[in-house]
A and B are shown apart, each in its own frame.
Chain A
Amino acid sequence: MEQLNNKISTSKLFIIAGLLLMAMGMLFGLTGAFQYIVTGFIKEYLSFEKIRPLHVSSVVFWIILGAMGGVLIYLQQYTGKKIFSPLLLKIQFGIFIISIAAILISYCAGIFGGREYWEFHPLLALPIAAGWILFIINFVKSIGSFKNQPVYVWMWLTGIFFFLFTFLESYLWLFPYFRNNVINDMTIQWKSYGSMVGAWNMLIYGSSLFLMEKISGNKKYAHAPIAFLLYFTGLFNLMFNWGHHIYTLPTYPFVKHISYAVSMTELFILGRIILLWRSTVSTARKNKNNTAYRFLMAADIWIFLTLLLAIAMSIPAINVYTHGTHITVAHTMGATIGINSFLLLAIAYDILHDTCIPINQNIKWLNRGYLTANISLLLFWVSLIIAGILKAKWQMNDAKIPFSTMMNQLKPFFILFFISGITMATGFFLILYSLMSNQIKCYFKILFQNRRQKQSQIPRLFALE
Chain B
Amino acid sequence: MPAKRQKLIILIVLLMAFLSNSFYLYTNLPLKYSASKKDADSGKLIWQKYNCNACHQVYGLGGYLGPDLTNVYSLKGKDYIQAFIQTGTGAMPEFHLSKKETKAILAFLKDIDESGKADPKTFTLKNDGTIEQ
- What residues make up the interface of A, taking CB atoms closer than 8 Å to B? 35-36, 39-40, 43-44, 47-50, 52-53, 112-116, 119, 147-148, 169, 172, 176-188, 190-191, 223-225, 228, 232, 235-236, 239-240, 245-252, 255-257, 260, 315-321, 323-324, 326, 329, 395-396, 398, 403
CB pair B51 A181 closer than 8 Å: no
CB pair A317 B61 closer than 8 Å: no
CB pair B14 A236 closer than 8 Å: yes
Cβ contacts B83-125/A at 8 Å (1 or 0 each): 0000000111100000000000000000110011011110101
Q: B82 an interface residue at 8 Å Cβ cutoff?
A: no
> How far apart sit A178 and B1, CA to CA, in the bound complex (Å)?
43
CB pair A182 B111 closer than 8 Å: yes
Neighbouring B residues of A320 by C-beta, 8 Å: 120, 123, 125, 131
Known: A48-B91, A115-B53. A188 touches B25 (CB 8 A): yes
CB pair B59 A186 closer than 8 Å: yes
Q: Closest CB of chain A to B123's CB: distance in Å?
A: 5
CB pair A112 B50 closer than 8 Å: yes
Q: How many residues from B make CB contacts under 8 Å with A?
A: 61
Q: Which residue of chain A lies nearest to B36 when distances are taken between CB atoms in the complex?
A: A180
CB pair B61 A35 closer than 8 Å: no
CB pair B59 A249 closer than 8 Å: yes
CB pair A49 B133 closer than 8 Å: no
Q: Which residue of chain A lies nearest to B91 when distances are taken between CB atoms in the complex?
A: A39
CB pair B91 A35 closer than 8 Å: yes
Q: Closest CB of chain A to B73's CB: distance in Å?
A: 12
Q: B81 an interface residue at 8 Å Cβ cutoff?
A: no
> How far apart sit A347 and B21, CA to CA, in the bound complex (Å)?
35
CB pair B30 A187 closer than 8 Å: yes
> How far apart sit A113 and B64, CA to CA, in the bound complex (Å)?
20
Q: Closest CB of chain B to A380's CB: distance in Å?
A: 15
Neighbouring A residues of B120 by C-beta, 8 Å: 248, 320-321, 323-324, 395-396
Known: A53-B54, A315-B129. A225 touches B1 (CB 8 A): yes
> How far apart sit A179 and B40, CA to CA, in the bound complex (Å)?
10
| 20 A-B pairs in the complex with CB atoms less than 8 angstroms apart | A36-B65, A50-B51, A52-B54, A176-B33, A180-B34, A180-B37, A182-B58, A184-B31, A186-B58, A225-B1, A232-B10, A251-B30, A255-B25, A260-B129, A315-B129, A317-B126, A321-B120, A323-B60, A323-B120, A324-B60
A-B contact count (CB 8 A): 178
> How far apart sit A391 and B126, CA to CA, in the bound complex (Å)?
23
Q: By CB atoms of chain B within 10 A, which of A44, A47, A256 has the most?
A: A47
Q: By CB atoms of chain B within 10 A, which of A177, A186, A324 has the most?
A: A324
> How far apart sit A403 and B75, CA to CA, in the bound complex (Å)?
14
Q: Closest CB of chain A to B3's CB: distance in Å?
A: 10
Neighbouring A residues of B133 by C-beta, 8 Å: 248, 250
Known: A236-B14, A320-B125. A35 touches B65 (CB 8 A): yes
> How far apart sit A240 and B17, CA to CA, in the bound complex (Å)?
9
- What residues make up the interface of B, taking CB atoms closer than 8 Å to A? 1-2, 4, 7, 10-11, 14, 17-18, 21-22, 25-26, 29-31, 33-34, 37, 41, 44-45, 48-55, 57-68, 90-93, 111-112, 115-116, 118-121, 123, 125-126, 129-131, 133
CB pair B91 A179 closer than 8 Å: no
Q: Closest CB of chain B to A163's CB: distance in Å?
A: 14
Contacts A119-B54, A186-B58 known; 16 new A-B pairs at CB < 8 A: A40-B91, A53-B51, A147-B4, A172-B26, A180-B41, A181-B29, A181-B111, A184-B31, A190-B61, A248-B133, A249-B116, A317-B125, A319-B131, A324-B60, A326-B64, A395-B119
SS class of chain A's interface: helix, strand, loop or mixed? helix
Q: Which residue of chain B lies nearest to A43 when distances are taken between CB atoms in the complex?
A: B93
> How far apart sit A403 and B25, CA to CA, in the bound complex (Å)?
36
> How far apart sit A182 and B67, CA to CA, in the bound complex (Å)?
18
Q: Which residue of chain A lies nearest to B118 when distances are taken between CB atoms in the complex?
A: A248
Known: A40-B90, A395-B120. A181 touches B31 (CB 8 A): yes
Q: Which residue of chain B lies nearest to A116 when distances are taken between CB atoms in the complex?
A: B53
Known: A250-B133, A323-B120. A239 touches B14 (CB 8 A): yes
Q: Which of B7, B48, B59, B63 contacts A228 (CB 8 A)?
A: B7
CB pair B90 A52 closer than 8 Å: no
> How far apart sit A368 and B92, CA to CA, in the bound complex (Å)?
39
CB pair B59 A248 closer than 8 Å: yes
Neighbouring B residues of A47 by C-beta, 8 Å: 91-93
Known: A112-B50, A232-B14, A320-B131. A223 touches B1 (CB 8 A): yes
Q: Closest CB of chain A to B41's CB: distance in Å?
A: 6
Q: Which of B1, B45, B91, B130 contacts A256 (CB 8 A)?
A: B130
> How far apart sit A67 and B123, CA to CA, in the bound complex (Å)?
40
Neighbouring B residues of A40 by C-beta, 8 Å: 90-91
Known: A115-B48, A250-B133. A43 touches B2 (CB 8 A): no
Neighbouring A residues of B18 by C-beta, 8 Å: 239-240
CB pair B44 A179 closer than 8 Å: yes
CB pair B41 A179 closer than 8 Å: yes
Q: Which of A235, A316, A323 contacts B129 (CB 8 A)?
A: A316
Neighbouring A residues of B57 by C-beta, 8 Å: 324
Q: Which of A119, A191, A319 contacts B25 (CB 8 A)?
A: A191
CB pair B33 A177 closer than 8 Å: yes
